[in-house]
């Protein structure tokens, strides 16, 4: 947690993805959600355009490949509710609401590289905030596809 916070916010989607990775492995839910919100508030950062990190560490690469699916879930939920990326922090008045309703609905998609990242050959367990292996009922299905055992991340920030 200290490393990600000490660096401050870098201005690239890939740097943001790496911060999300750190927050996830540290079980820092608030840090993860704040970083996801930061990414959402960068409308020029399409999730599908996150570059392939081609990370040499297979475990880190598997986790990085699982994170964009959660960005898609969180962002598309808001977009479908009428809050597109790049919306103002405060929406006041009928004119502002009308302007948002008239914006085209542009849903996010995962980057193509995530499907090319292989699952780990051995399970990787990321302990929860109590330093215990997540129970079966709370494990992330998306990360299980990568052979990573971690609790379902809390990614909805509004």
Q: Distance between CA atoms of 119 and 33, rounded to whole angstroms?
A: 25
* pLDDT per residue as tens digits for the range 86-131: 887 777 778 777 877 778 889 999 999 999 999 999 999 999 999 9
CA 97 to chain centre: 27
Q: Where exactly are the structural domains of the chain?
A: 2-112
Q: Distance between CA atoms of 3 and 145, rounded to whole angstroms?
A: 28
Grouping H, G, I as helix, E, B as strand and the rest as coil, residue 151 is: strand
* pLDDT per residue as tens digits for the range 42-57: 999 999 999 999 999 9
What is the rounded average pLDDT for all residues in the chain?
91
- Its pTM stands at 0.88
Residue 152 confidence (pLDDT): 96
């Amino acid at each position: 947690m200290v490393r990600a916070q000490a660096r401050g916010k870098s201005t690239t989607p890939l740097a943001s993805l790496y911060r999300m990775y750190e927050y996830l492995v540290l079980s820092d839910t608030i840090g993860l959600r704040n970083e996801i919100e930061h990414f959402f508030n960068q409308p020029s950062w399409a999730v599908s355009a996150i570059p392939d990190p081609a990370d040499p560490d297979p475990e880190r690469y598997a986790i990085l490949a699982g994170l964009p699916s959660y960005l898609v879930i969180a962002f598309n939920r808001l977009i479908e509710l009428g809050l597109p990326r790049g919306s103002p922090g405060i929406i006041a008045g009928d004119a502002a609401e009308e302007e948002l309703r008239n914006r085209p609905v542009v849903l996010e998609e995962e980057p193509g590289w995530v499907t090319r990242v292989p699952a780990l050959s051995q399970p990787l367990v990321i302990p929860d905030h109590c330093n215990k292996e997540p129970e079966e009922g709370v494990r992330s299905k998306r990360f299980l596809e990568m052979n990573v055992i971690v609790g379902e991340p809390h990614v909805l920030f509004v």
